[in-house]
Amino acid sequence: MPIQNFEIALRMREFEITQLTQRNNFFMIFQGVLLAGLIQSSHTKPVVSLLVCVAGLVVSVLQIGMASGSKFWQEYWEQKLSEFEGIERNGQSVLFHDQTVQYEQTVRSRLSVRQFGSITAKLIISRYSVSRIPIYTGIALAIIWLLLVLCALRGYPPLSIPGFVVGF
Protein backbone atom coordinates (compact mmCIF):
# COMPACT_ATOMS: atom_id res chain seq x y z
CA MET A 1 0.00 0.00 0.00
CA PRO A 2 2.79 2.56 0.73
CA ILE A 3 4.21 2.11 -2.80
CA GLN A 4 0.81 2.87 -4.28
CA ASN A 5 0.52 6.00 -2.10
CA PHE A 6 3.98 7.12 -3.20
CA GLU A 7 3.06 6.68 -6.88
CA ILE A 8 -0.21 8.60 -6.43
CA ALA A 9 1.56 11.44 -4.65
CA LEU A 10 4.22 11.55 -7.37
CA ARG A 11 1.59 11.71 -10.13
CA MET A 12 -0.34 14.41 -8.28
CA ARG A 13 2.81 16.50 -7.85
CA GLU A 14 3.60 16.18 -11.55
CA PHE A 15 -0.02 17.03 -12.40
CA GLU A 16 0.16 20.23 -10.33
CA ILE A 17 3.38 21.32 -12.02
CA THR A 18 1.93 20.64 -15.48
CA GLN A 19 -1.28 22.48 -14.65
CA LEU A 20 0.66 25.44 -13.26
CA THR A 21 2.49 25.78 -16.55
CA GLN A 22 -0.66 25.54 -18.66
CA ARG A 23 -2.67 27.90 -16.49
CA ASN A 24 0.16 30.43 -16.30
CA ASN A 25 0.54 30.35 -20.08
CA PHE A 26 -3.15 31.20 -20.40
CA PHE A 27 -2.83 34.18 -18.08
CA MET A 28 0.33 35.43 -19.77
CA ILE A 29 -1.19 35.22 -23.25
CA PHE A 30 -4.34 36.95 -22.04
CA GLN A 31 -2.33 39.79 -20.52
CA GLY A 32 -0.18 40.06 -23.63
CA VAL A 33 -3.28 40.45 -25.77
CA LEU A 34 -4.64 43.11 -23.40
CA LEU A 35 -1.36 45.02 -23.49
CA ALA A 36 -1.10 44.78 -27.28
CA GLY A 37 -4.68 46.02 -27.58
CA LEU A 38 -3.93 48.92 -25.27
CA ILE A 39 -0.87 49.92 -27.27
CA GLN A 40 -2.64 49.56 -30.63
CA SER A 41 -5.67 51.57 -29.50
CA SER A 42 -3.63 54.79 -29.48
CA HIS A 43 -5.85 55.79 -26.56
CA THR A 44 -8.53 57.24 -28.83
CA LYS A 45 -11.22 56.14 -26.37
CA PRO A 46 -10.05 56.91 -22.82
CA VAL A 47 -12.75 54.78 -21.20
CA VAL A 48 -11.63 51.75 -23.24
CA SER A 49 -8.02 52.33 -22.22
CA LEU A 50 -9.09 52.53 -18.59
CA LEU A 51 -11.18 49.36 -18.80
CA VAL A 52 -8.40 47.42 -20.52
CA CYS A 53 -6.00 48.50 -17.76
CA VAL A 54 -8.49 47.48 -15.07
CA ALA A 55 -9.00 44.11 -16.82
CA GLY A 56 -5.22 43.62 -16.93
CA LEU A 57 -4.97 44.40 -13.23
CA VAL A 58 -7.74 41.93 -12.38
CA VAL A 59 -6.21 39.21 -14.57
CA SER A 60 -2.78 39.67 -12.98
CA VAL A 61 -4.29 39.40 -9.48
CA LEU A 62 -6.06 36.21 -10.56
CA GLN A 63 -2.75 34.92 -11.94
CA ILE A 64 -1.15 35.48 -8.54
CA GLY A 65 -3.96 33.51 -6.88
CA MET A 66 -3.75 30.68 -9.39
CA ALA A 67 0.02 30.36 -9.10
CA SER A 68 -0.09 30.55 -5.29
CA GLY A 69 -2.78 27.86 -5.10
CA SER A 70 -0.84 25.62 -7.44
CA LYS A 71 2.34 26.13 -5.41
CA PHE A 72 0.42 25.19 -2.24
CA TRP A 73 -0.60 21.83 -3.69
CA GLN A 74 2.84 21.18 -5.13
CA GLU A 75 4.34 21.71 -1.67
CA TYR A 76 1.68 19.46 -0.13
CA TRP A 77 2.41 16.59 -2.52
CA GLU A 78 6.18 17.00 -2.15
CA GLN A 79 5.80 16.69 1.62
CA LYS A 80 3.68 13.57 1.17
CA LEU A 81 6.31 12.12 -1.16
CA SER A 82 8.98 12.70 1.47
CA GLU A 83 6.83 11.01 4.11
CA PHE A 84 5.96 7.99 1.94
CA GLU A 85 9.54 7.61 0.78
CA GLY A 86 10.78 7.71 4.38
CA ILE A 87 8.35 4.95 5.33
CA GLU A 88 9.36 2.75 2.40
CA ARG A 89 13.11 3.17 2.46
CA ASN A 90 13.64 2.94 6.24
CA GLY A 91 16.59 5.28 6.36
CA GLN A 92 18.18 4.30 3.04
CA SER A 93 19.16 6.84 0.40
CA VAL A 94 16.08 8.73 -0.72
CA LEU A 95 15.19 10.79 -3.75
CA PHE A 96 13.29 13.56 -1.93
CA HIS A 97 15.22 14.88 1.04
CA ASP A 98 15.77 18.17 2.79
CA GLN A 99 19.55 18.16 2.54
CA THR A 100 20.09 21.03 0.14
CA VAL A 101 23.85 20.84 0.63
CA GLN A 102 23.82 17.49 -1.16
CA TYR A 103 21.75 18.95 -4.00
CA GLU A 104 24.17 21.85 -4.37
CA GLN A 105 27.25 19.62 -4.33
CA THR A 106 25.76 17.40 -7.02
CA VAL A 107 24.84 20.34 -9.26
CA ARG A 108 28.13 22.22 -8.64
CA SER A 109 30.07 19.12 -9.62
CA ARG A 110 28.10 18.71 -12.83
CA LEU A 111 28.44 22.42 -13.69
CA SER A 112 32.21 22.35 -13.25
CA VAL A 113 32.53 19.25 -15.44
CA ARG A 114 30.40 20.90 -18.14
CA GLN A 115 32.38 24.17 -17.75
CA PHE A 116 29.53 26.61 -17.20
CA GLY A 117 30.50 30.27 -16.95
CA SER A 118 30.60 31.82 -13.49
CA ILE A 119 27.52 34.02 -13.95
CA THR A 120 25.46 31.18 -15.40
CA ALA A 121 26.64 28.80 -12.68
CA LYS A 122 25.74 31.29 -9.94
CA LEU A 123 22.27 31.75 -11.41
CA ILE A 124 21.78 27.98 -11.60
CA ILE A 125 23.01 27.42 -8.04
CA SER A 126 20.59 30.10 -6.81
CA ARG A 127 17.81 27.53 -7.36
CA TYR A 128 15.12 29.90 -8.56
CA SER A 129 11.79 28.20 -8.11
CA VAL A 130 10.03 27.71 -11.42
CA SER A 131 6.79 27.39 -9.50
CA ARG A 132 7.32 30.68 -7.62
CA ILE A 133 8.31 32.73 -10.64
CA PRO A 134 4.70 32.87 -11.96
CA ILE A 135 3.70 34.38 -8.60
CA TYR A 136 6.43 37.01 -8.88
CA THR A 137 5.50 37.65 -12.52
CA GLY A 138 1.87 38.18 -11.53
CA ILE A 139 2.92 40.64 -8.83
CA ALA A 140 5.13 42.58 -11.26
CA LEU A 141 2.36 42.70 -13.85
CA ALA A 142 -0.19 43.78 -11.23
CA ILE A 143 2.06 46.72 -10.35
CA ILE A 144 2.44 47.64 -14.03
CA TRP A 145 -1.31 47.41 -14.64
CA LEU A 146 -2.00 49.47 -11.52
CA LEU A 147 0.35 52.17 -12.79
CA LEU A 148 -1.38 52.05 -16.17
CA VAL A 149 -4.76 52.44 -14.45
CA LEU A 150 -3.43 55.48 -12.60
CA CYS A 151 -2.06 56.88 -15.85
CA ALA A 152 -5.42 56.36 -17.53
CA LEU A 153 -6.95 58.39 -14.69
CA ARG A 154 -4.33 61.12 -14.90
CA GLY A 155 -6.88 63.77 -15.83
CA TYR A 156 -8.64 63.37 -12.48
CA PRO A 157 -6.70 65.08 -9.65
CA PRO A 158 -5.16 63.97 -7.34
CA LEU A 159 -4.49 60.93 -9.56
CA SER A 160 -2.49 62.88 -12.14
CA ILE A 161 0.87 61.42 -13.04
CA PRO A 162 4.10 63.13 -11.98
CA GLY A 163 5.57 65.66 -14.40
CA PHE A 164 8.72 63.61 -14.99
CA VAL A 165 6.68 60.81 -16.60
CA VAL A 166 6.08 61.50 -20.28
CA GLY A 167 4.07 59.54 -22.81
CA PHE A 168 0.99 57.32 -22.62
pLDDT confidence tier of residue 159, bands split at 50, 70 and 90: low
Residues in CB range of 10: below 8 A, 6 or more apart: 77, 81
Instruction: Please report whether residue 43 resides in a domain.
Output: yes
- Amino acid in position 135: I
Tell me the HSE value of 122 on the side-chain side, using a 13 A CA sphere: 2
Is residue 108 pLDDT above 50, yes or no?
yes
Is residue 161 pLDDT above 60, yes or no?
no
Instruction: Please report whether residue 99 resides in a domain.
Output: no
Instruction: Please report whether residue 130 resides in a domain.
Output: no
Helix (H) or strand (E) holding 104: helix 100-113
* CA 158 – CA 66 distance, rounded (Å): 33
Instruction: Please report whether residue 44 resides in a domain.
Output: yes
Count: domains in the chain: 1
Q: So what's the pLDDT on residue 90?
A: 54
Is residue 41 pLDDT above 60, yes or no?
yes
CA of 68: how far to CAs of 18, 40, 53, 139, in Å?
14, 32, 23, 11
Cα–Cα–Cα angle for 8, 14, 19, nearest 5°? 120
Instruction: Please report whether residue 159 resides in a domain.
Output: no
Q: So what's the pLDDT on residue 168?
A: 46
Q: What is the DSSP letter of 96?
A: S
- Which residue range is the domain that position 44 belongs to? 2-89+135-152
Mean pLDDT of 77-97: 68
